[in-house]
């Protein structure tokens, strides 16, 4: 049962990628040709909220549901 939550978040992710049309080859072409804002809006919104949320997690040392501090691992250079 410990995997059920990941299945549910995965289902939501699949729905988001489809309903946002971010997985559409046509939307990706439109993005690389700079002919619409849609994809930039999606990524931009996600990153702005992500940066804000991660900064808050670090500042307030927010813990995960196990009670462990949420930590971030630097990407390899």
Partner 1 sequence: MTLAEFIVQPWSWWFSGLMIAAIMFSLLYFGQTFGFSSNLRTICAAAGLGKKAKFFSFNWKSQAWNLVFLIGAILGGFIAREFLSNDEPVKIAAETISDLGKLGFAAPNGLQPEELFSLQSLFTWKGFLVLSVGGLLVGFGARYAGGCTSGHAISGLSDLQVPSLIAVAGFFIGGLIMTFFIFPLIF
Q: What is the closest distance, in whole angstroms, from the C-beta atom of residue 1 to partner 1 in the complex?
A: 11
Neighbour-count burial for 2-31, b at 16+ CB within 10 Å, e otherwise: eeeeeeeeeeeeeeeeeeeebeeeeeeebb
Span between the terminal Cα atoms of the chain, in Å: 36
Per-position x/- string for 14-43, each x denoting binding to partner 1 as judged by CB under 8 A, each - no binding:
xxxxxxxxxxxxxxxxxxxx-xxxxxxxxx
**What's the min distance (Å) between Cβ of 60 and partner 1?**
13
Interface residues with partner 1 (CB under 8 A)?
A: 2-3, 5-33, 35-47, 49-51, 53-54, 57, 64-66, 68, 70, 72-77
């Amino acid at each position: 049962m410990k995997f059920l939550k990941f299945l549910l978040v995965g289902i939501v992710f699949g729905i988001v990628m489809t309903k946002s049309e971010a997985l559409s080859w046509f939307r990706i072409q439109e993005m690389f040709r700079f002919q619409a804002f849609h994809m930039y809006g999606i990524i931009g919104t996600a990153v702005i909220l992500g940066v804000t949320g991660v900064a808050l997690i670090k500042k307030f040392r927010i813990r995960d549901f196990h009670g462990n501090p949420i930590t971030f691992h630097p990407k390899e250079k």
